[in-house]
């Protein structure tokens, strides 16, 4: 499966990237970066650091340096460390990002690809994806599927920015609404893993699972071990939110999904809050996950 990863690394983005690069069934054609957990420059540097640490040559393209709408985006360096990768001292990259922008690259890639040849896994704010959809509403239909980490679909669960909102959707709520609101058969189906599922208590990395990761002798596991130490030591656990979006592509059998329509409140007190209408639509919300299989896939995937 050919995939473009759109991300804001971030430790959970980073673990998703390591798992994707380590998976022989996944061909990562490109990485695009977006302002989110850290600023665009840092996130882009981080993507390059990880690709080089695994001795790979996947090209990295810079996307939006700020949300399409709204100023002062929130950052998450208190969780991910000052460098966004757990301040683990990963070497700085020798390569730079490509000269072409993320959206220009996606346009070129889609023009030269077959219909449904490429999927997109988006684990940061949806600024780049919305910009692509706005600029090339016909071309984006050539994507097979879009997998998103973002939103909150169970009102019993609190958000991680406001009571109602998850970080990625809060950060650029209008772009999230534009992407999730794409409807109709001709658009690629969207699978969304929201905070209510990605925060599943049995899927966190805690001291015990960190020791298991640190006991694996692969390059990917050594990197994950180094990056995860800071948040696990600070908070006693760490959520692998973004890994859920990758697994929704590679291992859909571990999820129970529901087909819905989703709109996202673009601004105001409820900014980023999702309104879900069940009974058809273009968004497949991950409602449940099998935590045993999830954890096993993380360990096997890093091995
Ligand atoms: C999301 O926000 C970021 O902190 C994580 O990387 C994840 O994409 C969780 O709300
Ligand atoms: Ca992310």
Beta bridge partners of 238: 205
Q: What pTM does this model have?
A: 0.97
Q: Under CATH, which architecture does the 2-200+239-302 domain have?
A: Alpha-Beta Complex (3.90)
C-alpha distances (whole Å) from 291 to each of 24, 58, 124, 255 are 23, 30, 23, 10
The residues spanned by each domain of the chain are: 2-200+239-302
**At 192, phi and psi to the nearest 5?**
-120, 125
Question: How far, in Å, from the CA of 13 to the mean position of ligand 2?
Answer: 5
pLDDT digits (tens, 9 = 90+) for 173-198: 999 999 999 876 678 999 999 999 99
Are 142 and 224 in contact by the 8 Å Cβ rule? The answer is: no
* Of 100, 81, 14, 80, nearest in space to 49 by CA: 14
Are 239 and 199 in contact by the 8 Å Cβ rule? The answer is: yes
Percent of the chain surpassing pLDDT 90: 94
Name the residue of 14, 35, 80, 168 to mutate for ligand 1: max ligand atoms within 8 A of Cβ: 168
Taking CB atoms and a 6 Å cutoff, what residues make up the pocket around ligand 1?
A: 10, 12-13, 37, 76, 123-124, 149, 160, 166-168, 195, 241-242
pLDDT of 185: 67
Question: Tokens 């980073």 correspond to what residue?
Answer: 14
Does position 171 have pLDDT exceeding 90, yes or no?
A: yes
Per-residue pLDDT, averaged over 60-85, amounts to: 92
Beta bridge partners of 145: 189
Beta bridge partners of 192: 148, 285
Cα–Cα distance for residue pair 78/240, rounded to 1 Å:
16
Question: For all residues of the chain together, what is the average pLDDT?
Answer: 96
């Amino acid at each position: 499966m050919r995939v473009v990863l759109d991300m804001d690394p971030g430790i959970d983005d980073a673990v998703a990237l390591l798992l994707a690069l380590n998976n022989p069934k996944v061909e990562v054609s490109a990485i695009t970066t977006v302002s989110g957990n850290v600023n665009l420059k840092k996130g882009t540097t981080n993507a390059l650091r990880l690709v080089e640490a695994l001795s790979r040559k996947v090209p990295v393209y810079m996307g939006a340096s700020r949300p399409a709408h709204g100023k002062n985006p929130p950052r998450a360096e208190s969780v991910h460390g000052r460098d966004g990768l757990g301040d683990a001292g990963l070497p700085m990259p020798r390569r730079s990002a490509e000269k072409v922008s993320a959206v220009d690259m996606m346009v070129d890639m889609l023009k030269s690809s077959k219909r449904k040849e490429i999927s997109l896994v988006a684990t940061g704010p949806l600024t780049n994806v919305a910009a692509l959809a706005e600029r090339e509403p016909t071309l984006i239909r050539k994507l097979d599927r879009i997998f998103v980490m973002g939103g909150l679909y169970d009102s019993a669960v609190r958000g991680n920015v406001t009571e109602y909102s998850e970080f990625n959707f809060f950060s650029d709520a209008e772009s999230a609404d534009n992407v999730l609101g794409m409807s109709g058969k001709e658009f690629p189906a969207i699978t969304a893993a929201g905070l209510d599922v990605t925060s599943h208590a049995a899927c966190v990395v805690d001291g015990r699972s960190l020791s298991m990761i640190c006991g694996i002798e692969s390059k990917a596991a050594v990197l994950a071990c180094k990056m995860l130490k800071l948040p696990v030591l600070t908070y006693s656990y760490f959520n692998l939110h973004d890994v859920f979006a990758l697994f929704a592509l590679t291992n859909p059998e571990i999820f129970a999904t529901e087909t819905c329509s989703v709109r996202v409140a673009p601004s105001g007190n409820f900014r980023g809050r999702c309104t879900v209408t069940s009974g058809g639509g273009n968004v497949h919300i991950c409602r449940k996950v099998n935590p045993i299989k999830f954890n096993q896939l993380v360990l096997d995937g890093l091995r």
